[in-house]
Amino acid sequence: MWLLYGGLLFSLAFAVMAESPSEYRLKVAFLYNFASFTEWPELQGQAINLCILGDDPFRENLQHIRHKNIHDRDLSILYVQKNDDLSMCQIVFISRSDSANIANIIKLLDGRPILTIADIPGAGQQGVVLNMAVKDGKVVFEANLIIARRKGLKLSSQLLRFATEVYQ
């Protein structure tokens, strides 16, 4: 099954790139693919909750993944402003508006099976599982396998082969 997904990994991102999209429209495609290529130890409830912590940089671009399924579950998008709201999330995107609080957020989520994603310089080294950046006009990402394993998350090798840096 992973092999099938491997061929489709960034198809959404490439289809979107043909339209000369904004940075955050591309990053939405990456969010979806990150979730699709992550295995959680156990998923509670009917939905996978993607929580946007802080200011929403994606705006209308999230419509492209709204109502999609991941691992036969609905993808729900939630907006949170307080750290204590994060327990209902399977995925947390930490926006740049919360970059000053990243150490506290990482500490709060330590050991929980929550996929953390950001686009903050140095966030991967600070404990975020997947951190995006733009390099030469392309969205790239780094993966922190040490933190993913500590959280009980499994990142597909199909995903990791596209990472520019993997911290092991």
Place of tokens 């995925």: 91
Give the per-residue pLDDT at 43. 73
The rounded distance, in Å, linking the Cα atoms of 130 and 146 is 11
Residue range 18-69, pLDDT digits in tens: 444 688 899 999 999 999 999 999 876 778 999 999 999 998 999 889 889 9
Residue range 134-160, pLDDT digits in tens: 998 899 999 999 999 999 999 999 999
Residue range 95-125, pLDDT digits in tens: 999 999 999 999 999 889 999 999 999 999 9
Phi, psi dihedrals of residue 143, rounded to the nearest 5°: -125, 135
DSSP string, the chain: -HHHHHHHTTHHHHHHHTT---HHHHHHHHHHHHHHTEE-S---SSEEEEEEESS-SSGGGGGGTTT-EETTEEEEEEEE-SGGGGGG-SEEEE-GGGGGGHHHHHHHHTTSS-EEEE--TTHHHHT-SEEEEEETTEEEEEEEHHHHHHTT-EE-HHHHTT-SEEE-
Contact between 129 and 105 under an 8 Å Cβ cutoff? The reply is no
pLDDT class of 71 with cuts at 50, 70, 90:
confident
The total of other beta-carbon atoms located within 10 Å of residue 111's CB is 9
Contact between 48 and 75 under an 8 Å Cβ cutoff? The reply is yes
